Amino acid sequence: MKKTNINGLDREGLESFISSLGEKRFRAQQLYSWMYEKGVMDFEEMTNLSKPFRSKLNETATISRLKLSQQLSSQKDPTTKFLFELDDGQKIESVLMVYPARSTICISTQVGCAIDCKFCATGTMGLTRNLSPGEIIDQVAMVQQITGEKISNIVCMGMGEPFHNYDNLMTACDILSDDVGMNFAKRHIVVSTSGLIPKIHQFTEEGRKFRLAISLNATTDSVRDKLMPLNKKWPIRELIESVQAYTEATKRRVTFEYVLLNGVNDSIEDAERLKKLLGHLSCKINLIPYNATFGEYKRPTDSSIQQFYEKMAGSKVPVTVRWSKGDDIDAGCGQLATNAN
């Protein structure tokens, strides 16, 4: 009989598995707490479970883990990239960035990505498959276990479009933020989307308390259509409206990410338009100088990045430049693509 992988099952999932074994429901809560609150992944170490129940679990269930296949540390930044192998042999990447006051992990949500943004290495892979909730949360558990680092912040900005795998992502984020689960503060979990408008609405309507980031990357539809083909379906104006509905309903601030591409979206006119587009919103802007991939694009010079920044800095909207960490190990934004390894 094939064993059931219970890593990533939420309370409901564990309850239905437990009842299929003919066991009492409170057992589900015990398993939940062992796996996610205490990080114990071996049934034999779950000491408050009776011996017969533990052997039943050993016969019927597994707690499947990611396999570490490579770990690379940057020479320049306190950044480490982890390459993990999944049960079916697929590979995903996670990146840990250690700062003095916090440690942030950037996790993947899919193998590849279907959105096909032209400046992104993951985009060139196409989509292979969604990650399960267990594969999403285990990136955090494994990196904590491997490094001993107490991670404080989680950003879903690795491989994949998180909202393209909405249900699994939400199950994972619920376990990550559950105070009797992995106990991360909801405001310390950021979900970044390229702009799947129906999912932004759903996220708003469900009252999700994780933070939202939007990859805007252009100020006109003609440029965004070329950079991010999904813009043809969900153009800038509708995107901004959906974000405004979110900020008004939740009273939360959104982050806009804007990859700076030399000669494409980095003109002073772009900065002006960006100010106009976002000036009325409760938001901040992260300018991300382009990191080299296999594409045709170039990073603007430092002085034009500075000019763009200064133009924006005069507006009401707070602006920061996100100098990606770990670009010497291809761990920067948009550089994750496991078929390149």
Q: Site residues (CB under 6 A) for ligand SAH?
A: 119-120, 157, 161, 192-194, 215, 217, 257, 259, 288, 290-291, 293, 333-334
Tell me how far, at minimum, the Cβ of 90 lies from ligand SF4, in Å. 16
Closest listed residue to residue 285, CA positions, set 306, 316, 261: 316
Q: Please, what sign has the CA dihedral across residues 220, 299, 161, 275? A: negative
Tell me how far, at minimum, the Cβ of 174 lies from ligand SF4, in Å. 23
* Binding to ligand SF4, residues 176-215 (CB under 6 A): 194, 215
Q: Cα separation of 297 and 78, whole Å?
A: 27
Tell me how far, at minimum, the Cβ of 303 lies from ligand SAH, in Å. 19
Active site residue 15: no
Q: Cα separation of 171 and 314, whole Å?
A: 40
Residue 122 as a binder of ligand SF4 (CB under 6 A): the answer is: yes
Q: Of 200 and 288, which has the nearer Cβ to ligand SAH? A: 288
Closest listed residue to residue 125, CA positions, set 163, 165, 159: 159
Q: Cα separation of 82 and 96, whole Å?
A: 8
Q: Cα separation of 317 and 308, whole Å?
A: 14
> Could you please report the per-residue DSSP string of 78-95?
SEEEEEEE-TTS-EEEEE
Q: Which of 23, 77, 93, 161 binds ligand SF4 (CB under 6 A)?
A: 161
Q: Cα separation of 61 and 2, whole Å?
A: 8
Residue 335 as a binder of ligand SF4 (CB under 6 A): the answer is: no
Q: Which of 96, 113, 131, 240 binds ligand SF4 (CB under 6 A)?
A: 113
* Binding to ligand SF4, residues 131-160 (CB under 6 A): 160
Rg (CA), the chain: 21
Residue 103 as a binder of ligand SF4 (CB under 6 A): the answer is: no
Tell me how far, at minimum, the Cβ of 289 lies from ligand SAH, in Å. 7
Q: Of 122 and 130, which has the nearer Cβ to ligand SF4? A: 122
Q: Please, what sign has the CA dihedral across residues 249, 201, 137, 61? A: positive
Residue least distant from ligand SF4 (Cβ):
123
Q: Cα separation of 240 and 256, whole Å?
A: 10
Q: Of 7 and 139, which has the nearer Cβ to ligand SF4? A: 139
Residue 9 as a binder of ligand SF4 (CB under 6 A): the answer is: no
Tokens of 233: 């379906």
**Candidate list 15, 23, 93, 257, residue with the active-site label:** 93
Which of these segments, 38-46, 120-128, 240-248, 303-311, binds ligand SF4 (CB under 6 A)? Answer: 120-128
Helix (H) or strand (E) holding 2, with range, is none
Residue 293 as a binder of ligand SF4 (CB under 6 A): the answer is: no
Active site residue 333: yes
From ligand SAH, ligand SF4, none, which one binds at residue 217 (CB under 5 to 8 Å depending on kind)?
A: ligand SAH
Q: Cα separation of 256 and 253, whole Å?
A: 10
Tell me how far, at minimum, the Cβ of 333 lies from ligand SF4, in Å. 8
Residue with tokens 């979110």: 246
Q: Of 3 and 76, which has the nearer Cβ to ligand SAH? A: 76
Residues 6+ apart with CB under 8 A from 79: 73, 95, 96, 97, 98, 325, 326, 329, 331
Residues within the interface to ligand SF4 (CB under 6 A)? 113, 115-117, 120, 122-123, 160-161, 194, 215, 334
Catalytic residues: 93, 333
